Chain A
Amino acid sequence: MHETHFKVGPASFRVGSVWKEIIDQIEMLYASYPKPKLTDYTVTLDAIRPWRRFVRPSVAINGDFMLPDAAPLPLSHGLLGAEMGVNLQMALGWRRQLILHASSVEKDGKSLLMSGESGSGKSTLSAILGHRGWRFMGDEFALIDHDNGFVMPYPRLISLKNQAIETLKKEAPHAQFGPLMKDTPKGDIQHIVPPAQAIRKMEQGAKPALLLFPNYGYDAEIREMLPSEVFMRLTQASANFVGLGETGFNTLKHLVLDVPTFEIAYQNGDEAEAMINQLWEQL
């Protein structure tokens, strides 16, 4: 078993695999992240059958927390397997903060949260803003502290899908990219290492100042949202709201009551950035 450890924000992982190439890819891309020995979660990428390590290699994703019947992946998508395994540990296991399926960036000590379905553009927008004067905090999970309501960063490798790959290659040509994985169950996927300061400051949270629900592919529009609607949508967007019980309810309630929230529709990154700046200045 080949093994690597890494820490993202407050959470740490041990990943093991019978294939050295998967571990090497992870170590290359996670090179600048801390490597604690004592980790929170274990993920294994093993052959579905002993001989499938060599013949038509097929990767079974397992870990401390699992969903039944996760589909195996071909070896060329091993890095996606690691990403899925790690995400699952957070989504099913993490209780130290409220987890929102949201991206986040920071400026002047205040954070902007963006939540929405996959395809809404929240991940791509956070990656773009991370190269335009904001500090990137995370493209997938935002961790909301129960005590002070701060957003804690979770700056894992950014997972770019389909057209977002080209967008980011133009936006950040010098960034470190992982291998291009074609025709995965989620389309084409390529990882990009977040900017250095995002990793350096990954234990530094920021008070949430603005919450957006982006909608990619529609005519430009800004709509203010009422707390009731926001609360309902965020219960759907949270991985651990139910498991946290009263604590989770209180954390979410404060976030929703304290933070102005808008839905924004946009056709491209520049348009979205202009709307975000406009809303940010009005705060």
Chain B
Amino acid sequence: MSNAGLHYDTWLLVDCLREPDRALRLNDADWVALITMARAESLIGTLAYRLKNKKLPQPVAHIISDALIDSDYQYRSALWEVDCARRALESYDGPVVLMKGSAYAAAGFNASHGRFIGDLDIMVSEGGLKEVEELLLKAGWEWVKEDEYDEAYYRDYMHELPPLIHSERDRMIDVHHTILPKTAEPNPNARAMIADALPIDDGHYIFMPEDMICHCAAHLMADGDLAGGLRNLWDMHCLLSDFSGAAGDFWMRLKQRAQQHELWEAVHLSVRQSNALYGTTIPVDWMQWGISDTLFQKRLLARNGWGQKTYKLLRFAFYIRSHWLRMPPLMLIKHLLTKWRKGHKAHQL
């Protein structure tokens, strides 16, 4: 018996992603904790990619090679899904913008190396939503069985359609018309995002670099309870590293664009966390660490060597925060009450 696994947090994972050579000095218990945490954070493929040409202990080499096979499969099926959406939406006139993992994969960014890619996320203009929905339904996607409340909630307040799943391939597509719920306080300029999106080879579009970072930050900090935060922050690190090298005034343009989308706070916070955890090179005048930064960091690292969630109270606080950000107080109370009643009913069944 041992309690060793409980004494780790995901710093070990962060360290090994940032400096893969550190992993070469790990003992057996460290390796087991590292791999468990990487799997729990959906970062095993990314870690595998970082470690793939290193001299690893034999058992680790097997695990890494399994993870690489898996992420190849993820990559391949994500691109296949992108192509299926392209064919389904061929007659749609407006731009279809790929988002998150699928965008990184289709554009061949570093962030896609080993990345876990789940659903296909796309964005179209709000005016095009109805046509896109109809084309997808015609091409074999169907509604995931939701109840009326969830359906109405998506339609009225969310930044995306209720999720659609393909009847044969069992893969989900999320169709967005903006990047944050309508009820959230920041009001990003979705029209500008679509207008400035860049075409890629296959007929789809991706966001321009500054917008891609704004979306990544919005997804990470302004929407949700930081579940999967280390993975999303790794995206942020890769994007910043890729884009900031190109042109000297990148940081200035990023700040302006973030302000235009009312996302400066989220972008600034994500950039600071990316610098603190993954060592991203950022301008000195962007580094203003505060008490809340420490809380965010603690939340991002809240997992032990058994892959279990730790700091339950802090996690809960961030869960509440995520709802707080998403909607005004009265609406929040009504929403949580409905959800609670439904959960209660489901338990009794």
**B306 CB-CB contact with A under 8 Å:** yes
Q: For chain A, residues 46 to 100, give those with C-beta under 8 angstroms from any C-beta of chain B.
A: 46, 62-65, 93-96
A65 touches B60 (CB 8 A): no
Q: Which chain B residues border A40 with CB–CB below 8 Å?
A: 59, 62-63
Mask: chain B, 1-33; 1 = CB below 8 Å from A; 0 = not: 111011000000000000000000000110110
Q: Does A214 contact B (CB under 8 A)?
A: no
CB-CB under 8 A from B2, the residues of chain A are: 1, 3
Interchain CB contact under 8 A, A37 and B28: yes
- B308 beta carbon closer than 8 Å to chain A: yes
Q: In the complex the two chains form, what is the Cα distance from A64 to B6 in whole Å?
A: 16
CA distance A70 to B35 in the complex (A): 22
Which residue of chain A has its CB nearest to the CB of B33?
A: A42
- Write out the residue numbers on chain A whose beta carbons fall within 8 Å of the beta carbon of B6: 1
Residues of B within 8 A of A12 (CB): 59
Q: Give the complex CA separation of A93 and B60 in angstroms.
A: 14
A38 CB–B CB distance under 8 Å: yes
Query: Nearest B residue to A243 by beta-carbon distance?
Result: B73
Question: Which residue of the partner chain A has the closest CB to B312?
Answer: A50
Bound: A63/B306 CA distance, A = 9
Known: A1-B5, A38-B31, A243-B69. A44 touches B308 (CB 8 A): yes
Q: Does A244 contact B (CB under 8 A)?
A: yes
Minimum distance in angstroms from A213 CB to a CB of chain B = 26
- Whether B70 is near chain A, meaning CB under 8 Å from some CB there, is yes
Q: Which residues of B contact A36 (CB under 8 A)?
A: 59
Complex CA gap A115/B91 in Å reads 47
Complex interface bits, A142-185 against B, C-beta within 8 A gives 1, otherwise 0: 00000000000000000000000000000000000000000000
CB distance from A66 to the nearest CB of B (A): 10
Q: Are A37 and B29 in contact (CB under 8 A)?
A: yes
Q: B306 touching A16 by the CB < 8 A rule?
A: yes
B57 at the interface (CB under 8 A from A): yes
**Binary B-proximity of A233-255 (CB < 8 A = 1, otherwise 0):** 00000000011110100000000
Determine the chain B residues whose CB is within 8 A of the CB of A44 once the complex forms.
Answer: 306-308
Interface: B150 (CB within 8 A): no
* CB proximity of B92 to chain A, nearest CB, Å: 30
Q: Which of B31, B32, B57 has the most CB of A within 10 A?
A: B32
Interface membership of A39, Cβ < 8 A: yes
Q: Chain A CB within 10 Å — which of B1, B2, B72 has the most? A: B1
The yes or no answer to B112 lying at the interface (CB within 8 A) is: no
Q: Which of A20, A93, A94, A247 has the most chain B CB within a 10 Å cutoff?
A: A93
The chain B residue sitting closest to A39, CB to CB, is: B32
Most buried by B among A3, A12, A23, A36: A3
Flag whether B87 is at the interface (Cβ < 8 A): no
Q: Does A107 contact B (CB under 8 A)?
A: no
In the bound complex, residues from chain A placing their C-beta under 8 Å from that of B29 are: 37
Interface size of A as a range:
20 to 34
- A245 near B73 with CB under 8 A, answer yes
User: With an 8 A cutoff between CB atoms, is A135 at the interface?
Assistant: no
User: Are B66 and A95 neighbours in the complex by a CB distance under 8 Å?
Assistant: yes
Q: Does A14 contact B (CB under 8 A)?
A: yes
* Minimum CB–CB distance for A221 against chain B, Å: 35
Instruction: Give the residues in chain A near B69, CB-CB below 8 Å.
Output: 95, 243-245, 247
A2 interface residue per 8 A CB criterion: yes
CA distance A242 to B170 in the complex (A): 13
B36 at the interface (CB under 8 A from A): yes
- In the bound complex, do residue A42 and residue B307 qualify as a contact, i.e. CB atoms below 8 Å apart? yes
B310 to chain A, nearest CB (A): 12
Q: Does B40 contact A (CB under 8 A)?
A: yes
Within 8 Å CB of B76, what residues of A? 245
Whether B66 lies near A1 (C-beta < 8 A) is: no
Chain A 185-243 interface residues, beta-carbon cutoff 8 Å to B = 242-243
Measured between C-beta atoms, what is the minimum distance from B9 to chain A in Å?
15
B70 touches A243 (CB 8 A): yes
A residues 246-266 touching B (CB-CB < 8 Å): 247
B24 → chain A closest CB, angstroms: 14
Interface residues of B in 62-112 (CB under 8 A from A): 62-63, 65-66, 69-70, 72-73, 76
Contacting residues, chain B, for A242 (C-beta < 8 A): 73
Q: Does B54 contact A (CB under 8 A)?
A: no
Are the CB atoms of B59 and A3 closer together than 8 Å?
no
For the complex, give the distance between the alpha carbons of A93 and B48 in Å.
14
Q: Is B145 an interface residue (CB 8 A)?
A: no
**Residue of B at shortest CB range from A23?**
B1
Give B28-55 as 1s and 0s: 1 = Cβ < 8 Å from A's Cβ atoms.
Answer: 1101100110011000000000000000
Does A38 lie within 8 Å of B57, measured CB to CB? Answer: yes
In the bound assembly, the distance between CA atoms of A38 and B205 in angstroms comes to 44
Q: A46–B3 Cα gap in the complex (Å)?
A: 14
User: Contacts A62-B307, A243-B73; is A42 near B32 (CB within 8 Å)?
Assistant: yes
State how many angstroms separate the Cβ of B195 from the closest Cβ of chain A.
38
- Least Cβ–Cβ distance between B70 and chain A, in angstroms: 7
Can you list 25 A-B contacts (CB < 8 A)?
A1-B2, A1-B3, A1-B5, A1-B6, A3-B5, A12-B59, A37-B28, A39-B32, A39-B59, A40-B62, A42-B32, A44-B307, A46-B308, A64-B35, A94-B66, A95-B65, A95-B69, A242-B73, A243-B70, A243-B73, A244-B69, A244-B73, A245-B69, A245-B76, A247-B69
The 4 A-B residue pairs whose C-beta atoms are closest, nearest first, are: A37-B28, A95-B66, A64-B39, A38-B28
Q: A1-B2, A1-B5, A42-B307 are in contact. List 10 more A-B contacts (CB 8 A).
A: A37-B32, A42-B36, A42-B306, A44-B306, A63-B307, A64-B35, A95-B69, A96-B62, A96-B65, A245-B72
